[in-house]
Amino acid sequence: MKRIQDATLSLTFVIACAFFSAAPGLFCPPLASAEDAWKTEFDALCSKTDDAVSFSVDEITSLIGRCDKLKAAMDNLDESTKKVYLRRLQMCRDLFSYVLDSKKQNDAPQ
């Protein structure tokens, strides 16, 4: 009987969340908020690697700084997720760093 009551309560909560979806933060907890904020930033940063050569020195420096901030924010992830995504983030950061060094070298007077 207790299981039926728990299932009914859970189903009622899901239906209420669907009904009040116009104001999801008001009646229902957000489903993917702070936990996935790092993933959104990760996707935004690493999607810019294809165009890294076209960015200015200041833009690339900013991207490297964002990578460093994101690395610190990812410390609370579970070990396997952290290992995979930190490695991928480091590869993106290394590419930005390489492009930055190349641009600085090409802009230097010879």
Per-residue pLDDT tens for 53-64?
A: 999 999 999 999
Task: Report the alpha-carbon distance of residue 46 to residue 96 in Å, rounded.
Answer: 10
Domain that holds residue 2: 1-31
Q: Are residues 68 and 47 in the same domain?
A: yes
Q: Are residues 53 and 97 in the same domain?
A: yes
The answer to whether residue 76 scores a pLDDT higher than 60 is yes
Q: What is the pLDDT of residue 5?
A: 53
Split into its structural domains, the chain has a count of 2
Q: Are residues 3 and 41 in the same domain?
A: no
pTM: 0.67
Mean pLDDT (the chain) is 80
Task: Report the alpha-carbon distance of residue 15 to residue 9 in Å, rounded.
Answer: 10
What does the pLDDT average to over 91-99? 98
Q: Are residues 36 and 25 in the same domain?
A: no
Interval 18-40: pLDDT, tens: 444 444 444 445 444 556 899 99
Q: Are residues 25 and 36 in the same domain?
A: no
Q: Give 16-21's long-range contacts (Cβ < 8 A, gap of 24+).
A: none
Q: Are residues 23 and 48 in the same domain?
A: no
- Better pLDDT: 38 or 109: 38
